[in-house]
């Protein structure tokens, strides 16, 4: 025999939206812009750096192979 549920179903929990907390001294337009863009810029900059290092290494290997 199955046990009956005596508790009322209340649905899934509400997820609060994420907010950026900034102190009053750091409320300038540039700091707000940087906090928002930093999340997207970090992976792109690291990818660019890796591609740049690989390009330099390939260039040096080709230069050594030609000589």
Q: Is pTM, for the whole model, over 0.85?
A: no
Q: In angstroms, what CA-CA distances link 14 with 1, 8, 17, 18, 21?
A: 34, 17, 9, 12, 20
**In this predicted structure, what is the pLDDT of residue 14?**
72
**In this predicted structure, what is the pLDDT of residue 13?**
74
Q: Say if residue 24's pLDDT is above 70.
A: no
Q: CA 23 to CA 34: how far, in whole Å? A: 15
Residue 67 sits in which domain range?
Answer: 42-67
Q: CA 62 to CA 67: how far, in whole Å? A: 9
Domain count, the chain: 1
Q: Quick one: tokens of 41?
A: 């810029």
pLDDT tens figures, 29-53: 888 888 888 888 888 999 999 999 9
Within a domain: residue 57? yes
C-beta separation of 22 from 32 below 8 A: yes
Within a domain: residue 63? yes
Within a domain: residue 30? no
In whole numbers, what is the pLDDT of the chain averaged over residues?
82
Within a domain: residue 66? yes
Within a domain: residue 25? no
């Amino acid at each position: 025999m199955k046990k009956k549920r005596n508790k009322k179903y209340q649905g899934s929990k509400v997820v609060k939206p994420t907010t950026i907390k900034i102190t009053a001294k750091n409320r300038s337009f540039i700091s707000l812009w940087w906090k928002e863009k930093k999340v997207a810029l970090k992976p792109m900059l690291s990818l660019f750096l890796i591609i740049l290092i690989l390009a330099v290494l390939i260039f040096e290997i080709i230069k050594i192979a030609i000589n």
